[in-house]
Amino acid sequence: MSILTLAAAFGLGRRRTINPFWGLLFLSGVFLSFRGSRDLWFITVVAAAIISITLFAGASRSPARISRVQTLIVILMVGALLGLTIRTNHLSDTELQLLTAKDYPVEAASFVEKRRFPGPLYNHFDWGGYLIWRLPDLPVSIDGRSHIHDAERIRHSIKVWTGQPDWASDTELGAARLVIAQKNLPLTQLLRMDLRFKIVYEDDVAVVFTARD
């Protein structure tokens, strides 16, 4: 199906002008196929038809030019299709915030921001990118930038967070003044008993530790 869809897109793209009917039909097929696997037949039929027209249309036939009115109609229809997609998938700001809060330390970051805890910060690899965006004034210890953090450093960080032997001797963890930890990770449970740190915040997603004075 994906090959047919790409071929149809290529066929439409190589034409000098695109018939609004086929353009909208193709977009509708793509939308329906992504929405549910049971509707894959629709984009398959549409793609096959577009490919047939592209391959077997007479070379002497010039495609009809699209007027400004037709162009406006296509733009409006595409906009409506995108709006329907957003509405169907509940892609509102509120929904996105709720989804983010399930996997990232949204409330914990807000707490840290309000209290203005100083670094250095120690965090998990998975949360590095979010914390860079959410707490830009607090440098993260690690994130997904492979040109800064090489594979060996990432592996070592994972070993620490999974509570492997010698986790307590990690120099970055020892120097940290703040730890934003995923609640269910082994290191988080170990830090609860570590006299070097104390819990200052906890919710269903994250636990925030600060270094004891």
Domain shared by 80 and 104, yes or no: no
63 cis-preceded (ω within 30 degrees of 0): no
Instruction: Give the C-alpha separation, 79 to 87, whole Å.
Output: 12
- pLDDT the model gives residue 36: 47
Q: What residues does 74 pair with on adjacent strands?
A: none
Domain shared by 153 and 82, yes or no: no
- pLDDT the model gives residue 59: 42
- pLDDT the model gives residue 145: 79
Nearest alpha carbon to residue 207 among 161, 159, 157: 161
Domain shared by 17 and 49, yes or no: yes
* pTM for this model (two decimals): 0.57
Token duo for residue 146 = 């492979």
Domain shared by 125 and 42, yes or no: no
Domain shared by 21 and 122, yes or no: no
> At which of 45, 69, 91 does a domain end?
91
| Structural domain span for residue 43 | 2-91
Nearest alpha carbon to residue 117 among 192, 198, 188: 198
Domain shared by 194 and 148, yes or no: yes
Domain shared by 66 and 130, yes or no: no
> At which of 57, 91, 125 does a domain end?
91
Distance, first Cα to last Cα, the chain: 62
**Residue 206 parent element (H or E):** strand 206-211
- pLDDT the model gives residue 195: 94
What is residue 14's DSSP assignment? Answer: T
Instruction: Give the C-alpha separation, 80 to 32, whole Å.
Output: 14
One DSSP character per residue, 131-189 reads HHHH-TTS--S--S-TTTS-HHHHHHHHHHHTT-TTGGG-HHHHH-SEEEEETTSHHHH
- Grouped pLDDT means (10 residues each) for the chain, 213 residues: 52 54 59 51 58 53 56 64 59 65 88 93 92 92 81 91 93 95 95 95 95 90
Domain count of the chain? Answer: 2
